[in-house]
Structure 1
Amino acid sequence: MISLMYLVLMALLALNVDKSVLDAFETVDRGLSTTIENFNSKNARVYADFAKAALENPEKSGDLNAEAKTVKAKTDSLYNYITDLKKMLVVAADGEGADIHSIKNKDDTETAPELMLVKHQGRLAKELKQSIESYRAYLLSLVDPKDTALISSIKSSLDTSDPPPVEGNSPSWAESIFQGYPLVAVVTLMSKMQSDMRNTESDVANYLYAKIDANSFKFNKLKAQVLPKTDYVLEGGTYEAQIFLSAVDTTAEPQIMVNNKQIPIVAGEGMGLYKVPATTEGYHKWNGVINFKNPSGQIVQYPFEGEYQVAKPTMTISPTKMNVFYAGLANPVSISVPGVPSDKIIPSITNATMKPNGRNYLVYPKKPGVKSVITVKAEIDGQVKTIGSTDFRVKRVPDPVATVGGKNEGQITKNELLLEQGVYAEIPDFDFDMKFTVTSFVVSTTRGGFVVDKKSNSNLFTPDQVNLMKSLNSGSRLYIENIVAKGEDGTTRNLSAISFRIR
């Protein structure tokens, strides 16, 4: 909309319309400033997501995070350079203390061409063009040549080519910006350059963020796995098991070969089922390969080998809900030892307390980040013997997600918004029944170029907040931020902001 207004104003200038047109340029410039601020907020969220991803997985996200920081630094540098040029032009026209957002000599048509095109043989205009072209080349170097849409957008937004001839005249790119226009129009056009830069920065930052998982395998099912070192342990020995979370893609079946023979795939599980009769006592080794298509379409081979012993199995510890305990919650666990009655099993745990719950147990972890170790002993033939132990990770309950009407971003109608009573918080796809209550939040929007915000000290919208939402028009941005929620575990969480566009 702002770009359309700018084009209309430029057309009116060509018709020598009166001073009201010049005043309208300041309105357009203020609109561009608001647009730039919106891009800044949007980009800040993307860079925050980059930093979080790099912190959680430096090997996977570290290089892309560093590249994103470079994009931001180069964009900020060019943006600030253009701002300095705008200040220089306005000060030259209005004198010291001039304000680029309130130009006195709006109709000045001499200052811009004099300083940008004439002085020092047009050095400033040449440097500006070179800076934009260097910035454009850098951004293009980050984009895969196959992404033609983004490449076209970058070239269009940062175009410095000479415009087509008009009535026999062939103005240069710099002349088409600084020659023949009043100062207020020149400054507004430079603001549009900055807006286009922030928009392009947003496109490239999001493009880089998407590359974090571009070459990663996609999975749709998680499963806790226990892989014992051996299923047979002599008395006095130690039972060892690897406990981990596996991920599978049930929509893409692999080809699994064992001893050069293909084995069947379990429907909906994405895993093979290998069966062999246990007819001979002793150790038996076997091997094979998994053929799986990677995201680029290539078949990758993953060899494996296994060993088993035909003998009586021993202890099995299987967590009810994966190998993770959550602090502040009752975590159900089942413990059994084959051949031993449940009343003869003696379990103990570190960094937690454990209470019987029917045939199972409830574990109450103490400190997140410190593993809990369950050690199982059993009374066998009147003697207490150690059977084995298993490690569990203790994690903090994840932060809930704040929503209004089940949404936390995107578009919403004003009527839909006004039907909602407040802000709610819940943890999506969490296996435990853990409730959070929002205790405060702030609703804010931009009105007349200024931020207006209203606070609630509960999870419900206040009358002031409702009135603020009633004043919104189509296209307005509404932010719900500074959201604080308290959980049943007694912890207080600061939640991510909600952003809506009114349609």
Structure 2
Amino acid sequence: MILKRRLIQISILALLLVFSQCKNTKQETSSNQPAIEAVSQIDTVYIHDTVVRHQPQEFLQLERMRVLYVGVDNPISVHVAGLSPADIEVKGLEGVSVKEVSVGRYVATAAKPGEAQISVEGPGLGRIHIFRVKRIPDPVVRLSNKTGGLMGNGEFKAQGGVAAFLDNFDFDATCAVVEFRLTYIAKRSEPITVTNAGPRYTNKTRELVNRAKPGDTYIFTYIKAKCPGDEVVRNINSMAFMIR
């Protein structure tokens, strides 16, 4: 009888212990729930903040070429969606200067070949564009719009000098001929060479040109030109003409 009473007491104590553990577990779960919600709310706020703080849509375009060229005004267009042009600042950083010419339009002037940086800034916006910078391409020198071949005696003598042309270059730029050599080769005669300063014929060059007769050859070599932005002269194409 005593043993039976003991077993009943032990069973009751075990049930009370199990009930107490379940209650504590429920309370702990309930007490942790607000912390989980707080973390969730923080994450939501963080994601929302990231979406709101994106930069405005911005466009910068070189109007003529895909690179900047030394010695010329490179036109640039800038537009930022949602911002007034008055709130936008465009600045040249490395190797380039920028000035505004009208609303949304600028010109960039590069100092040397290599790389240049242009920044676009405004409310909520800060971006740097990097561009390649190249020198103006080599010009082509011509005589009477020709680079060589046969030329009539009258046409040849009528020319007053040579000129350099920038073919297929969409900028208002001119390269100047600084110097060239002219060699005159007549039949059964030794070649005669003179050095001419500038694009126009000097007196010595004109004297050789006036000797032209059918069958003679004239060769223009060591032609040097200087283009906008050049620090030194550059050598360009040679020409050879046979008089007919």
Scaled by the length of structure 2, what TM-score is found?
0.70
Partner residue in 1 for 2:184: 445
Indicate whether 1:497 and 2:219 are aligned: no
Residues of 1 paired with 2:218 and 2:163: CA distance? 17
Q: Quote the offset at 1:475 in angstroms.
A: 3.2
CA 1:471–1:390 in structure 2 vs 1: closer, same or farther (change >3 Å)?
A: same
Residues of 2 paired with 1:467 and 1:337: CA distance? 63
Residues of 1 paired with 2:185 and 2:156: CA distance? 17
Partner residue in 2 for 1:148: none
**Structure with more strand by fraction:** 2
Which residues of 2 match residues 45-64 of structure 1 at below 5 A?
Answer: none
Indicate whether 1:334 and 2:74 are aligned: no
User: Unpaired segments of 5 or more residues in structure 1?
Assistant: 1-232, 239-312
Partner residue in 2 for 1:345: 88
Q: Which of 353, 356, 372 is the aligned partner of 2:116?
A: 372
Q: Secondary structure at the match of 2:207?
A: helix
User: Could you give the per-residue CA deviations for residues 409-431 of structure 1, whole angstroms, max 9, x where no partner exists?
Assistant: 12111110111111111211211
Residues of 2 paired with 1:398 and 1:479: CA distance? 24
Indicate whether 1:407 and 2:150 are aligned: no
Query: Are 1:414 and 1:470, in contact at CA under 8 Å, matched by a contact in 2?
Result: no
Which of 1 and 2 has greater Rg? 2
Q: Percent identical across equivalent pairs?
A: 26
Partner residue in 2 for 1:316: 59
Partner residue in 2 for 1:363: 108
Residues of 2 paired with 1:490 and 1:391: CA distance? 22
Query: Are 2:225 and 2:235, in contact at CA under 8 Å, matched by a contact in 1?
Result: yes
Indicate whether 1:479 and 2:222 are aligned: no
Query: Are 2:183 and 2:194, in contact at CA under 8 Å, matched by a contact in 1?
Result: yes
Q: Secondary structure at the match of 1:481?
A: strand
CA 1:407–1:329 in structure 2 vs 1: closer, same or farther (change >3 Å)?
A: same
Structure 1 runs of 4+ off > 6 angstroms? Answer: none
Greater RCO (CA < 8 Å, at least 6 residues apart): 2
Q: Secondary structure at the match of 1:456?
A: strand
Partner residue in 2 for 1:470: 210
Query: Are 1:414 and 1:469, in contact at CA under 8 Å, matched by a contact in 2?
Result: no
Residues of 2 paired with 1:423 and 1:436: CA distance? 12
User: Could you give the per-residue CA deviations for residues 400-448 of structure 1, whole angstroms, max 9, x where no partner exists?
Assistant: 1111111111211111011111111121121111122222221102233
- Number of equivalences: 191
CA 1:464–1:367 in structure 2 vs 1: closer, same or farther (change >3 Å)?
A: closer
Which residues of 2 match residues 92-241 of structure 1 at below 5 A?
Answer: none
CA RMSD of aligned residues (A): 2.4
Residues of 2 paired with 1:488 and 1:413: CA distance? 34
Query: Are 1:439 and 1:457, in contact at CA under 8 Å, matched by a contact in 2?
Result: yes
Which residues of 2 match residues 258-269 of structure 1 at below 5 A?
Answer: none
Q: Quote the offset at 1:353 in angstroms.
A: 1.1
Indicate whether 1:418 and 2:124 are aligned: no
Q: Quote the offset at 1:236 in angstroms.
A: 5.2
